[in-house]
């Protein structure tokens, strides 16, 4: 989904140097660097197949989920405070994030027919590219216009701190906004990191996979139940709410 037109567009992050964006600590530089990494991975995704494509996909997940979680808990609240139309702009990006979460849950499902998998992959690539353009071309330049370099650097440090300790997997039911997502971050990160560890050990230690797969499934179920806790869903807008009792 593209953001609506709100007058003349400020300069995209894509057209600015790192010095113009506030230097290496600025949240704008950190965002742009990760978007460039994502672009490379999306190209790799189209060039690979089979188990190699699966590995590229996991690299994309490990990049985008902590990145987006930190945006939703640190950056978008700041945008809502200082950017005109910040409420609507952040909501539309949150809807893109929500769709990414839902697409990945479906891609991770068992026995996916090849044509359905390809359809979901194509949609995932489209939504991720739209999300980057909406952030770099519209929302973040407006944040840049509203804040000074020192504030952008402070926001960059805060965003990075949350990104490094954020969940690494899709959580479509948890709130896309504080306070729910902020409360959910620590427990979901612990569960995600344990699942990541199971996968790494299963991959590296011959014969370990049969013992670790059930453990990973138990952790996945625990994360699914945790997501539904009312405290983790507080602050959610109906447009991005999913699960029992939520607006579709």
- CB neighbour list of residue 147: distance below 8 Å, 6 or more residues apart: 78, 82, 155
Distance in Å, CB of 185 to Fe ion, minimum: 16
Distance CA 169, CA 62 (A): 7
List the one residue from 72, 94, 99, 131 that touches Fe ion (CB under 5 A): 131
Nearer residue to Fe ion within complex by CB, 31 or 142? 31
Q: From residue 35 to residue 64, what is the string marking binding to Fe ion with x (rule CB under 5 A)?
A: ------------------------------
Site membership for Fe ion, residue 92 (CB under 5 A): no
Kindly state whether residue 135 participates in binding Fe ion, applying the rule CB under 5 A.
Answer: yes
Angle at 128 between CA 71 and CA 196, to 5 degrees: 70
Q: Contact between 137 and Fe ion (CB under 5 A)?
A: no
Query: Based on CB atoms, which residue is closest to Fe ion, 65 or 198?
Result: 65
Choose the binding region for Fe ion from 2-10, 80-88, 128-136, 156-164 (rule: CB under 5 A).
128-136
Residue in the block written with tokens 């995600």: 192
CB of 34 to Fe ion, least distance (A): 6
CA-closest candidate to residue 28, choices 177, 148, 167, 165: 148
User: Running DSSP on this structure, what letter comes out for residue 228?
Assistant: T
Distance between alpha carbon 165 and the CA centroid of its chain, in Å? 13
- Name the one residue in this structure whose structure tokens are 């909406």: 134
Report CA dihedral (95, 162, 84, 89) to the nearest 10 degrees: -10
Q: Least Å distance between CB 131 and Fe ion?
A: 4
Min dist CB 30 to Fe ion, Å, is 9
What are the residues binding Fe ion (CB under 5 A)? Answer: 31, 68, 131, 135
């Amino acid at each position: 989904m593209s953001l609506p037109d709100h007058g003349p567009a400020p300069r995209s992050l894509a057209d600015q140097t790192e010095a113009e964006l506030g230097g290496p600590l600025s949240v704008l530089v950190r965002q742009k660097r990760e978007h460039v990494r994502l672009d490379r991975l999306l190209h790799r995704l189209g060039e690979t197949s089979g188990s190699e494509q699966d590995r590229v996909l996991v690299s994309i997940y490990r990049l985008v989920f902590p990145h987006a979680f930190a945006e939703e808990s640190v950056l978008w609240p700041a945008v809502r405070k200082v950017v005109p139309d910040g409420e609507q702009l952040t909501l539309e990006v949150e809807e893109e994030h929500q769709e990414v979460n839902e697409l990945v849950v479906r891609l991770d499902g068992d026995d996916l027919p090849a044509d359905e998998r390809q359809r979901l992959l194509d949609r995932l690539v489209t939504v991720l590219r739209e999300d980057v353009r909406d952030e770099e071309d519209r929302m973040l330049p407006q944040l840049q216009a509203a804040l000074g370099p020192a504030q952008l650097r402070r926001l960059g440090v805060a965003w990075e701190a949350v990104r490094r300790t954020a969940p690494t997997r899709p959580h479509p039911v948890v709130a896309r906004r504080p306070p729910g997502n902020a409360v959910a971050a620590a427990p979901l990160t612990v569960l995600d990191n344990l699942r990541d560890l199971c996968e790494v050990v299963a991959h590296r230690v011959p014969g370990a996979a049969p013992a670790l797969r059930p453990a990973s499934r138990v952790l996945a179920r625990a994360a699914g139940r945790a997501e539904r806790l009312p405290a983790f869903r507080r602050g959610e807008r109906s447009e991005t709410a999913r699960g029992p009792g939520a607006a579709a």
